[in-house]
A and B are shown apart, each in its own frame.
Chain A
Amino acid sequence: MIIKIINNFYHHIRAILIGLKYLLSPGIRITLKYPDELPILPENYRGMLKLNNELCISCGLCSQICPAGAINLKLFEHEQTKQVGRHPEVDYKRCIFCGFCIDICPSKALELTRIHDAAFYVEDELYYEVNRLIIGPKIDPPCMRSKYVISEIDEVRGIVYRNA
């Protein structure tokens, strides 16, 4: 009984001390101040798509494999080269970013971009026609102070963010 009380008391103190330790030790935080700090994602991150229409062979595999049915094919004529082909269009309302389309593309016409957090003012903008898919997604920094950071895994602090 007495031992149990002393043991309990000891563990109460230990819990309070670990709380104090984290309260007083400087700089341990894992939060990314998201709109102010934008992470630079690793290479090969499965973000939004970009189309290289010169490589596209109009095979339509991307549209066939897409699990969400986000890719449609459309007849497209390039303005300068007058090249004609059935090129993919992406509906980001449906896209689940699985990256199957990129992986199956035999001619590497579809590319990954590391952008995934684009926001749109109009619903229709979510539908990327061939023209826009060729240009690829662009995002403006969400706010004036935004700066890019690289996250690194750290043994002591979990994740640290270094300015890029």
Chain B
Amino acid sequence: MKTSLSKQQDNRKEIELFIGPQHPASGHMRFIGRVDGDIFTNFIPDPGWVHRGIEKIAENRKWIQIIPLVERAAILDAANMNIGYVIALEKLLDIEPPPRAQYLRTLLCEINRITSHLYGFGIAGIMIGSSTFYMWPFADREPLIDIAQLITGARLTYSYMIPGGVRRDLPQGFKEKALKALKYIERRLNNDYFRIFFDNPVTKARYQEVGVLKRDDAIRLGIVGPNLRASNVKYDVRKVEPYAAYPELEFDIAYEKEGDCYARLLVRVEEIRQSIKIIRQILDALPQGPIIHKKYEKLVSLRKLEEYQKTGIFGLPAIFTVLRPPAGEVISRVEAARGELIFHIISTGELRPYRLRMVTPSFRNIVLFRELISGARVMDFPAIYGSIDYFPPESDR
């Protein structure tokens, strides 16, 4: 990659610009661009600066210990990373969680989707210079993180889903608090955000007709998530291959036709609205019953069972330390906040997986940098970067 760039050194018209890894807008990565005047003639992302070898580490961890590990790929999208792995593991173990657990999983995933999109908004805002739209979404994540904290006991790294169910039931008075937070975020999203940012003529000038990704290109490049749906492709794993409680819930696929930066942001706005709708449905129609598969419910100690019936906090059964799923190969697909997340796990019936492959949405979207920014203006780089909602640690894993 780098050698091919240095071969072009003889072109005296262009300068080679290294953006990052220590740069206000590069994130944890580097970009190598060639600039001709105000135009990037060539733009290559150079990821890998936050590679932690999650796939390799996973081969040395017990099955249950991988749950906190895969969350670290995208810490602000932890629940969706978690559910992807747990679904794969459940396929191996051939168990199905009870309906209440399915609903609780979906609840946390949707809360996480909202917070993740808000985070993306904040980054997009500061990248084109709107400091207010940096602070607002970040501040408004707080009520939602508080809600997630009420469910799971942690702010970001929930480790909430375990094979066969979830770890905790909802606490007392959760519904009122959640509804309040939803009302707050809905009002902010529909009024204030639009007035200061999405309807702001400067924002529109920066985003509209910039970084256009055509429908065919999006499909050809294998783009996933909101970036794909902004190019007029109605593809959502939650609809195509429903998991958890999604088949029973009513929601629409958010999509836009234009495929430019502005469309990509509007898709996320619409997704937040849909997520709010989903959470409201879940809170209304949460089925009663256990939160963990029968098989595991019997395996905890009597003292733990008492606690579970009293407070709704289910312990882990001791068998999880020596969990040995039967040999086999599974694939799970879930819709994480940034797009389709794939887990491919090979088990040989050992304490640890033989191989864990994790294809994250950012990893599949990284090609957009080359496609969209080559040929764009220098000042379009932060606008496009912000609109893709690319998250380097998620891509590097």
- Indicate whether A and B are direct neighbours in the complex (CB within 8 Å): yes
Q: Which residue of B lies closest to A9 (CB)?
A: B201
B249 CB–A CB distance under 8 Å: no
Encoded as 1 (CB less than 8 Å from any A CB) or 0, chain B from 170 to 197 comes to 0100000100110110011000100110
Q: How large is the interface on A (under 10, 10 to 19, 20 to 34, 35 or more residues)?
A: 35 or more
Let me know if A64 and B183 touch, CB within 8 A.
no
CA A158 – CA B139 in complex, angstroms? 9
A43:B171 contact, CB within 8 angstroms: yes
Q: Is A96 at the interface (CB under 8 A from chain B)?
A: yes
Q: Is the beta-carbon distance between A11 and B143 smaller than 8 angstroms?
A: no
Task: Mark contacts of A88-102 with chain B using CB atoms, 8 A cut-off: 1 yes-contact digit, 0 otherwise.
Answer: 000000001111101
Given A15-B200, A30-B139: A44 in contact with B304 (beta carbons within 8 A): no
Residue with the greatest number of chain B CB neighbours at <10 A, chosen from A15, A42, A59, A159: A15
Residue of A96, A104, A159 contacting most chain B CB atoms (<10 Å): A104
Q: Which residues of B contact A67 (CB under 8 A)?
A: 61, 64-69
From DSSP, what is the main secondary structure of chain B's interface residues?
helix
Nearest CB to that of A101 among chain B residues?
A: B316
Q: Does A14 contact B (CB under 8 A)?
A: yes
Cβ of A151: which chain B residues have Cβ within 8 Å of it? 146
Alpha-carbon distance between A65 and B63 when the two chains are bound, in angstroms: 10
User: Could you tell me the distance between the alpha carbons of A100 and B158 in the complex, rounded to whole angstroms?
Assistant: 11
Cα distance A153–B181 when bound, in Å?
Answer: 6
Contact of B301 among A15, A65, A100, A107 (CB under 8 A): A107
- Within the complex, the shortest CB–CB distance from B143 to chain A, in Å, comes to 5
Q: Which of B62, B196, B300, B303 contacts A18 (CB 8 A)?
A: B196
Of B223-231, B281-289, B307-315, which stretch is located at the interface?
B307-315
Q: CB-CB < 8 A to B201: which residues of A?
A: 8, 11-12, 15
Report Cα–Cα, A93/B321, bound state, in Å. Answer: 22
Considering only residues 46-68 of chain B, those with a C-beta below 8 Å from chain A are: 61-62, 64-68
B146 with A106: CB separation less than 8 A = no
CB pair A44 B171 closer than 8 Å: yes
Q: Does B247 interact with chain A (Cβ within 8 Å)?
A: no
Inter-chain contact B146/A103, CB cutoff 8 Å: no
Kindly report which residue of chain B lies nearest to residue A105, judged by CB atoms: B315
- B65 contact from A61, A65, A156, A158, Cβ within 8 A: A65
Given contacts A19-B132, A65-B321, A67-B68, contact A106 B183 (CB under 8 A): no
Interface membership of chain A positions 59-83, coded 1 if the CB is closer than 8 angstroms to chain B and 0 otherwise: 1010011111000000000000000
Closest Cβ–Cβ distance, residue A101 to chain B (whole Å): 9
Q: Which of B64, B149, B177, B196 contacts A100 (CB 8 A)?
A: B64
Contact between A104 and B315, CB atoms less than 8 A apart = yes
- Rounded to whole angstroms, the CA-CA distance of A42 and B314 in the bound complex is 18
Asked if A140 lies at the interface with its beta carbon under 8 angstroms from chain B, I say no
Taking CB atoms, residues of chain B closer than 8 Å to A155 are 180, 183-184, 187
Closest to A97 in B: B154
Q: How far is the CB of A128 from chain B (nearest CB, A)?
A: 20
Most chain A C-beta atoms within 10 Å of own C-beta, residue among B143, B147, B300: B143
B69 touches A45 (CB 8 A): no
Other-chain residue from B143, B168, B177, B200 in contact with A44 (beta carbon distance below 8 A): B168
Contact of B146 among A46, A61, A159 (CB under 8 A): A159
How far, in angstroms, from A103 to B307 measured CA to CA in the complex?
11
A124 at the interface (CB under 8 A from B): no
State A91–B51 Cα separation when bound (angstroms): 25
- On chain A, the residues within 8 Å of B181 by CB distance are 153
CA distance A106 to B317 in the complex (A): 8
Does A108 belong to the interface (CB within 8 Å)?
A: yes
Known contacts A15-B196, A18-B195, A106-B300: does B320 contact A65 (CB below 8 Å)? yes
Task: Report which of A98, A108, A158 forms a contact with B143, defined as CB distance below 8 A.
Answer: A158
> Is the Cβ of B68 less than 8 Å from the Cβ of A98?
yes
Chain B residue with the shortest CB-CB distance to A18? B195
With A42-B171, A104-B318 already in contact, the answer to whether A97 and B195 are too (CB < 8 A) is: no
Q: Which of A44, A45, A61, A99 contacts B159 (CB 8 A)?
A: A99
Q: A18-B192, A42-B150, A108-B307 are in contact. Are A103 and B184 (CB under 8 A)?
A: no
A103 and B314 in contact, given A11-B199, A97-B157, A155-B180 (Cβ under 8 angstroms): yes
Does B140 belong to the interface (CB within 8 Å)?
yes
A159 to B177, CA, bound (A): 11
Q: Which A residues fall within an 8 A CB radius of B?
A: 8, 11-12, 14-15, 17-19, 30, 41-46, 59, 61, 64-68, 96-100, 102-108, 112, 151, 153-159
Chain B residues with CB under 8 Å of chain A are 61-62, 64-69, 132, 139-140, 142-143, 146-147, 149-150, 152-154, 157, 159, 167-168, 171, 177, 180-181, 183-184, 187-188, 192, 195-196, 199-201, 300-301, 303-304, 307, 311, 313-318, 320-321
Q: 3 nearest interchain CB pairs? A: A67-B65, A106-B301, A46-B153
